[in-house]
Every structure is written in C-alpha cells, then in structure tokens.
Structure 1
Amino acid sequence: MGRSWRWAISRSPLARASGTFTVADDAGRLEPGGGEQRGGDVERSVLPPVRRPTELERLADWFDGRTGFGRYARMALRKVFPDHWTFLLGEVALFCFVILLATGVFMTFFYTPDSRPTTYHGPYAPLAGAQVSAAFESVMRLSFEVRAGLLMRQIHHWTALVFLGSIGVHLARVFFTGAFRRPRDINWLIGVTLLLLALAEGFTGYSLPDDLLSGTGLRIAYSAALSIPFIGPWLASLIFGGEFPTLELISRLFVFHVMLLPGLLIGAIGTHLLIVYVQTHTQYKSRATREDNVVGLPFWPGQVFRSVGLLFLTAAVIALIAGLIQINPVWLYGPFIPYAVSSPAQPDWYVGWLEGLLRLGLPFEPTILGVTIPSPFIPGIVIPGILFTILLLWPFIEARATGDHAEHHLLDWPWESPIRTATGAAGIALFLVITLAGGNDVIGVFLNVPVETLTAILRVLFVVLPVATWLLIYWLASSQRRRRAAGADTSHIRAGGVAIRRTATGGFEEIDAIEGDAD
C-alpha cells in the first residue's frame, strides 16, 4: 500500500524567512530529497506525526460526505454580526422562549387541563374543603407540594412578561431605525405576526390556572368576541365551546397554549432567523460601514460566547426575580366562580392595554341596518384591529408616502425621519395611556381618587397626549436634522449656540458651534 503525502509549512525560523516547504508523509517522515537547498544549506525539518481522526470526527466526515453540511456550517461560522448592544434585544426574546419551553415542559407533568369540579384537600388551609376545578387543584398542588414547583411557575410567568417586553422593544428598535425597509419588509411582517402569536400564547397560559382573576379575563374576552356583529355568537361558541363558562374551555386553552401556538411560534421564529441569515444584518452608519458590507464580530467565536453569556445572564436575572418577587398567587384569588369578580384587579401588562381600551370606551351602542353594535365592539375589536393593521403595513405605508422603494442596509438615526419618529413616539404615548387605564381601579385606590374621575382624565389624555407627543417629537427631530444638515455638532452645543473645544495646552475655549464641527 503506497504512502500518502501532504504539504506543510515548516515552523523553523529559516523556513519562515526563506519561504521553503518540506514534504512529509502521514507518519511525519521527510520524503527523500524533500528538503530544499538554498545557498548550500539543506533544511531538514521533521514535522510532528499527524493525529489520527477521532470517532466523532469520522462521524462528522461521514455525515458531511453525504449531506454537504460542512460547507454551510463554515459559512455560518463566518457570518458577521454587528457589534452593537441593540442587536441583542432579539436574542433576549429568543432566550426567553427557550426558558418558557423548558419550564413549560416541567409544569405539564403536573398540570391537569380539566374544568370538572373537585374538592381541595391540599396543605393550603384557607381553601380546605373548597369546591375547585381539577385545573386549579393541580396548580395548587404544583405550587405547594411539588419540589421547586412554585419556583418554576414564577420563572415561567416572569419569563413570559420579559418575552413580550423584549419583542416589543426589539420591534421598536427596528421601527425607529428603519430596519423594516426593503428587503426586510417581509421580516417585519413575520415579526408583527410573532408579537400577535406571543400575545395569544401569553393570554392562554395566563388563563390556564382557572383562578378568579384569570376567569374574569376570559369572561371579558368572551364578551368581546360575542360583540362582533353577525358572526360574534358563532365565533365565541367555536372558541369557548358554548356559552361561557364551559367544561371544554380549559382543555381547549391547553391545546392552544401547549401545541398549536408554540408550533406556530417555532415556525415563525425559525423563518425569521433564516431570513436574517440570508439577508444579513443591518448596521448603524459609521465611517467603516457601507451599504455593501457588514462590520462586526464573526459568529465563531465572538458572537457565540457573547450570546451564551447573554443566555445565562437572562436566565439568572429572571430566576433571581422569580425567587424574590411573588407573582400570580392564585391561592389568594381563589377558584373561578362565574358570578364573582375581584376588585381592584388588573391583568398582565401585555393585555392590560386591551382592557384599558374597554374601560375607556363610551357606553355607546349604535344601530346600523337594524343591527345593534354592542359597546365592547369598537374599543375591544375595532381599535386594536386598526392599530395592528397600521403596524403590520407600516413599511408599505412609508414607502408609498415617501416614494422610497430602494433597498436599505444602513440604519437611520431617529432624527433622520421626523415623521416616522414622531408617529412611533405618539404610539408609545397612546400605549401608556391605555395601559394605565387597564389598572384605573388599582391606581384610584392607591391615589385615593375616584375611578370615574381618573377615567375621565385618561379619556382626555387618550386624545391629547398622542397628538402633543407627535408635535413635540416631530419638532425636535426636524430641528436636529436641520442642525445636522448645517454641519453643527449638536452634542456640544450650549444654549448660547457655542461649543467647547479643548486646547493643546489642556485648557478649554468657546468657539462657534459650526466652526467647531468643521474642525
């Protein structure tokens, strides 16, 4: 059997200086005459023996030989990620989803998705002998009798809040920097869809304990669905399994929360990440960045270690919060009773704005073509539908309004697009107002202000604050854009229109702002 040969660069200083090469076989032996003669000297550098491949390497080579996966793996390892902290917001959402899956699987082992009544005989004395649903009883058992069960519930709940929050902040970053523009408008559509799926996933999971607070939220959702003209009763019956409450409701919510919605989320997240990989990342404008390059860290090893560190940091912070701060104590709320309701009460923040719209809604039921429109329809269905439609179609609305249909790979600074920035700020102001309205009873008790007075104030702010915010932010962004266009370094401008520059001797001097920028 013949010997195989390989080329290798010698490690000797002479070879590095002269550029000579030596030839060695697999055992590290030099080929006869393999040394190269330079100036009467023959270099003979014996290379170390070649390491035999391990079984894992053989398996990887076997797999690569049949799939060609190695080429794509090398491409993935060389992918460049922009070096800016705002690009990690999406990773926080991804890591939260992983934590939700892990804790959710744990809780599934102990949860019973059943609305049939049973008697509670657990260690929590205030509810001893109470008639509860099997779902509520299993949550109580998980909280008080399963080792680390309450901690897992708390981690799961807090992670859900952070998950929705990180998605919202990530979308805000994409919106204000214009990262949704062509060709990434398709990923914006997927991102908004992810937000809707996450909202549905959070609400269905929040409702599974079958406690009084979550049951009240389900009754509100049932009323909103019922208010839709023509199809409302049919749709509500389809979702809830009949007239609320029904014995099938918890099992249906369980299927949505554990099977359908997670599957859709996994598919949407995978598609989102695939498109990001194919299209490459956007990046902020700088001297090094251009429309045709990406400046940052390679996936391996830089971005991998950063992402792994962020994963552990996210998990640690959430676990710390879950261990120290109580959330959703269902034993204090008690089991759901159809004729009972607790007050003051408010839902989780990500659906609080929907309840806020209902609380701000006017007692107005118009009749159109002989059909009475129930009062929850406009604030509970129409307004959220309009808001999400605008959010979903914003890339196309902006492209149509500005006439800009070109591809963009560099991000805008917020002041570069005053209308977009002002619109986003007005949307945030509107969200804050209606979120506060979702807890108007809690705020009223805390401030000792009648709920009616607080609701009237919030109704005024619902109209005034977004408009005032839009005008203010538009003026600020436009002023900043004009100053930038004039060449002024606004980061050092004082009220008098001058800038401070450090001299060569270590002192400071006042100069004209535009002159200082030119320097």
Structure 2
Amino acid sequence: MKGGARRAERAAAALDARLPLTEGGALMRKAFPEHWSFLLGELALYSLLVLILTGVWLTLFFQPEMREVVYAGSYVPLRGVRMSAAFDSTLRISFDVRGGLLMRQTHHWAALVFVAAIGLHMLRIFFTGAFRRPRELNWVIGLTLFVASLAEGFAGYSLPDDLLSGTGLRIAQGIMLSLPVVGTYVAFFAFGGQYPGHDIITRLYPLHILLLPGLLIGLVTVHLILVFHLKHTQWRGPGHSNRNAVGKPMFPQFSGTSAGLSLTVFGVLVLLAGLAQVNPVWNYGPYRPDQVSTASQPDWYVGFLEGALRLVPPWETNVAGHTFMWNVLLPAVVLPGLLFAVLYAYPFVEQRLTGEWQHEQHLCDRPRERPVRTGLGAAGTAFYGVLLLAGGNDVIAQTFRVSVNGITWVLRAALIVAPVLAFLVTRWLCRALTAAERERLDEGVPTGEIRQTVSGGYDGGHEPVTSFRPGAPRRSLTGARTGTPSRRPREPESPDR
C-alpha cells in the first residue's frame, strides 16, 4: 500500500511538473457550490456527453438518403413497403442491429433531458439574478446554447423520415414559405426542389452530426472557461460575500460528487431507454406527403411553436403580388424572434433600470426579494405553458370529448389573461412574503421561554434578530445565520476585480 501511494505521488508530481493542472494546488482547491440547483448545468453537460457517444455509434449504421427502397427487414408489418433509405436504416438499427433500439432510445431520451436541463438551469439563473455583472456574456452564451439545442433536436428528430417527423418537416416548409419575398427560394433550396424534394435529409444530416454539435461543444467550452474565471455565484450564508467564493474543493469532494452524478445520468438514461418506449417510428410508418399522422405532436421543446401556429387565426394579405401569411409568419417567425430578443436583452435592461450595472454581483437573490423579476418569470412560464397546451388542443378535445374550436378559443383568451394573472399573483406573493419576513425581523426570534404577564396571561419571549450571545450563532437582517467563519474552502476574489 505504501509503495502504491508513493508511486501515485510521483505520478502526480510528474504531471504537475509538465502540465498546468494544479498550479500549486490552487485548481484542486477551487471552490464549487454545494446547493443542488447548481448541478442542473452539470446535468446538461453529462446528457450532452451521452448524446455524443450514442450519436457516434448511430452514425455508423444510419444512411442519410432519400432514395426509394423496398423494406425487407425483420419487422414483418412493413415488409414490401416502399420507403426512403433513411427510414429503412432506422428500422434496421431498431430491429436488426444488436443493441440498436437501446442506443436509439438512449439518444432520444438524452436529447429530451439535455434541453430540459438547459431550460431549468437558465430559469435558476434568471430567478436568482445570476446573470448580472460580470456574467452577462455567460447568459448570452447559455441562451445561444439553448437555441442551438432546439435546432439540433429538431434536425435529429427529422432524420428518420417517418410519418411523424415528415409532418414536422411539412410544417417547417410552410414556415419557410411564409417568409416575405424570399420564402419560396429558401424552401426550394432546403428541400432541393419542389416539396418533398430529395435533399432535405442529406442536408440535415451534416447539420445534425457536424455543424450544430461543433457549435454546442464550442459554446459549452467557452461557458465552462468563463465559469472558472468568474467563479460561481452563491447564496448568502456564513462567510459568503461579494468578495469570495465559498464551497467544497474541486478534489476530492466536488469531483466525487460530479462523477457520481455523471454515472447516475448515464444509468437513468439507459434505464429509461430500456423501460420507457420513445419515438416508435415503426408504428408511424414511412412518410407520405398525402398522409398526416393522427394526433401528431412534436417533442416538447418545440411544442410551443406548434401551439402558436394553432392559436393564430388564418390571416393573410396580398401586397404587390406577394402573399403575407400572418397566421404562420407571426407565430413561427416573429414571436420566437421577439421572445429570444427580449431574453438576450433582459440582463442589460434590468441592470440599467436598477443601477446594478456599476457593481459586480456574486450573491444570488432569493426570488421573493425581486417581485417584479419573479413576476415576469412567472408570466413568461405561463405564456409558454398555454402555448404548449395549445400544441395538443386536438388531443385534449378528443380526450375530454369537447369541441376543438372551443378549446382553441379558451386557450386564445388564456394566452392573454394567464400571463397577466401570473405576474400580478406572483408579485403580490413575493411582497407578502417579504413583508412577513420584515415583521418577523422586527418582532424578533422566539426564545422558547414563556413568561407570565402582570395581568396573569402568558407571553412568549423574543430576542432581537441581530442579538449575539457568546458561543451562539448570530442572524443577519436577511435571516442567514452568521457568526463563526466557515471552514469550507474559500476562494478570494482576484485583484483585478
């Protein structure tokens, strides 16, 4: 054992002498946050790793071609059916390649988790104000990463060329045609001719396996570099301030936690792939332009676009011989553009309005402390939720035996009313919670002592929140317990800040 320890020490020293890994141990002692919400970014990172590994494996067997073939594989119900080579290879992966279906479904589940983790991670950053100076650029990078993940997911979802994904491509072609003046040319180029064309799969394939993954990996790399450079935000607590970063060291605590999370993510995704069926393309069959899959629903992350398309009335106008399809242009082009433009600009606008752009902010806000920001976040979430429901208005109508037109009109009204109500209710709750906390601070902390009053009644004893007794913790005005300095690793702020 002693000999093994000495060999490990010599190996570590040799690496330290040749590579800038430890920098005198500073990297190994770098503080990382302990709260579970900070692990959402790592969840996205490890999901991306699973996507890359399974995607490389699937690339070995998938044929991105639209030439017509006759299926002669193991799935009997589709034998003798004409289909594209892309759909034929998807069926072959699912039924004829050992472990193929498991890898396909792992890849699909990892994509769903990846986008969800990025979305939740950005919600955590938004509600806690972690986008403020000096992290505005990281917010922009993270939002761009989210947009790229949506495009990557849609491209991969479309590659099998089944009836469901083909319906999605038909919608995408309609969105291209809605672009004023240039729409016809864009659609003609993308599909390689008149719809359905012969080139859309071969053009989506390099986009899905090369360009977008390269962009995702590059953005993640820059994001992680900035996280290391700027240090993480942190909740208020003992020894936490704007001038330090407190948490567990990178090695061995954080690295152990992160390794355990990675194995958990891998295991859960594989377990989901083995037990929970997703995207059974053999049930949909090959794509045919004259058919539409019953109750066709896209993956959840583009469901809000589907809902927006279903809610906007059929408005069209003709200007100088050009048809403006407002029922497609507004929900599928203008609305997403405005939505992401607002998200990109929000950190800069808020800091200008509040004056916080002048100082660096390294402590997280509690959502209740920012009622307007939290209310806006709740309103945006409600807006997204209504659009997501609208994407399944036909399924809702069929399930509850109601009119699909009635559901559509209810959701149109909810799209306006729900965000306003969510903002007002959330802002009121935040202010009420803040007022109750102030009252508690003014009244003091119960001591547990019961005193008898002069009149014969009883009253609970209280002490001021800021009181301090030797050997006892002290409470700050925010309710955080302070007093004895934290013994956890603390990373001081760099001199240039």
Name the amino acid aligned to 1:140.
L
Matching residue of 2:471:
none
Judge conservation of contact 2:232–2:245 (CA < 8 Å) in 1: yes
Q: How far apart, in 2, do the equivalents of 1:486 and 1:369 lie?
A: 65
How many residue pairs get aligned? The number is: 459
Matching residue of 1:473:
426
Q: 1:124 to 1:477 in 2, by over 3 A?
A: same
1:440 to 388, 393, 401: 393
Q: 1:161 to 1:148 in 2, by over 3 A?
A: same
Matching residue of 2:11:
57
Displacement after TM superposition at 1:78 (Å): 1.5
Q: How far apart, in 2, do the equivalents of 1:237 and 1:439 lie?
A: 30
Name the amino acid aligned to 1:328.
N
Displacement after TM superposition at 1:363 (Å): 0.9
Name the amino acid aligned to 2:121.
H
Q: Does 1:451 align with 2:407?
A: no
Q: Does 1:380 align with 2:328?
A: no
Q: 1:242 to 1:392 in 2, by over 3 A?
A: farther
Q: How far apart, in 1, do the equivalents of 2:460 and 2:184 lie?
A: 70
Matching residue of 1:460:
413
Q: Does 1:105 align with 2:59?
A: no
Q: How far apart, in 2, do the equivalents of 1:510 and 1:215 lie?
A: 74
Higher alpha-carbon Rg: 1
Q: How far apart, in 2, do the equivalents of 1:444 and 1:413 lie?
A: 40
Instruction: Calculate the TM-score normalised by the size of structure 2.
Output: 0.87
Displacement after TM superposition at 1:478 (Å): 1.8
**Greater mean alpha carbon deviation, residues 342-351 or residues 182-191:** 342-351
Judge conservation of contact 1:498–1:512 (CA < 8 Å) in 2: no
- 5 Å-filtered alignment, 1:41-440, equals 57=11, 61=14, 68-72=19-23, 74-367=25-318, 371-374=322-325, 375-405=327-357, 406-440=359-393
Displacement after TM superposition at 1:421 (Å): 0.3
Unaligned runs of 5+ in 1: 1-47, 490-496
Could you say what the CA RMSD is over the residues aligned between the two structures, in angstroms? Answer: 2.7
Matching residue of 1:482:
435
* Higher RCO (CA-CA < 8 Å; seq separation 6+): 2
The secondary structure found in structure 1 opposite 2:27 is: helix
Q: How far apart, in 1, do the equivalents of 2:96 and 2:47 lie?
A: 26
The secondary structure found in structure 1 opposite 2:32 is: strand
Name the amino acid aligned to 1:57.
A
Q: How far apart, in 1, do the equivalents of 2:174 and 2:209 lie?
A: 24
Judge conservation of contact 2:22–2:28 (CA < 8 Å) in 1: no
Q: How far apart, in 2, do the equivalents of 1:146 and 1:471 lie?
A: 55
Residue identity (%):
46
Name the amino acid aligned to 1:401.
L
Q: 1:487 to 1:331 in 2, by over 3 A?
A: same
Q: How far apart, in 2, do the equivalents of 1:322 and 1:503 lie?
A: 57
| Deviation digits for residues 30-89 of structure 1 (CA, Å, limit 9, x no counterpart) | xxxxxxxxxxxxxxxxxx99998689839x73x765x65245483322210011100000
Q: How far apart, in 1, do the equivalents of 2:404 and 2:178 lie?
A: 25
| Deviation digits for residues 210-243 of structure 1 (CA, Å, limit 9, x no counterpart) | 0000000011011112101122223333333333
Q: How far apart, in 1, do the equivalents of 2:192 and 2:29 lie?
A: 52
Q: How far apart, in 1, do the equivalents of 2:352 and 2:34 lie?
A: 32
Unaligned runs of 5+ in 2: 452-456, 468-497
Displacement after TM superposition at 1:180 (Å): 0.1
Judge conservation of contact 2:21–2:27 (CA < 8 Å) in 1: no
Q: 1:308 to 1:70 in 2, by over 3 A?
A: closer
The secondary structure found in structure 1 opposite 2:421 is: helix
The secondary structure found in structure 1 opposite 2:239 is: coil
Instruction: Calculate the TM-score normalised by the size of structure 1.
Output: 0.83
The secondary structure found in structure 2 opposite 1:484 is: helix
| Deviation digits for residues 443-501 of structure 1 (CA, Å, limit 9, x no counterpart) | 22111122111111111111100000000001111222233344549xxxxxxx99976
Judge conservation of contact 2:444–2:465 (CA < 8 Å) in 1: no
Displacement after TM superposition at 1:114 (Å): 0.4
Judge conservation of contact 1:500–1:510 (CA < 8 Å) in 2: no
| Deviation digits for residues 406-432 of structure 1 (CA, Å, limit 9, x no counterpart) | 210000000111111000011111111
Name the amino acid aligned to 1:283.
Q
The secondary structure found in structure 2 opposite 1:452 is: helix
Q: 1:77 to 1:368 in 2, by over 3 A?
A: farther
Q: How far apart, in 1, do the equivalents of 2:458 and 2:161 lie?
A: 67
Q: 1:368 to 1:79 in 2, by over 3 A?
A: farther
Matching residue of 1:39:
none
Name the amino acid aligned to 2:388.
T
Matching residue of 2:473:
none
Judge conservation of contact 2:71–2:79 (CA < 8 Å) in 1: yes
**Greater mean alpha carbon deviation, residues 397-406 or residues 146-155:** 397-406
| Deviation digits for residues 346-401 of structure 1 (CA, Å, limit 9, x no counterpart) | 11100111111001111112445664321200011101111111111110111122
Q: How far apart, in 1, do the equivalents of 2:26 and 2:191 lie?
A: 48
Q: How far apart, in 2, do the equivalents of 1:369 and 1:485 lie?
A: 63
- 5 Å-filtered alignment, 1:19-30, equals none
Q: 1:511 to 1:295 in 2, by over 3 A?
A: farther
Q: How far apart, in 2, do the equivalents of 1:238 and 1:101 lie?
A: 29
Name the amino acid aligned to 1:214.
S
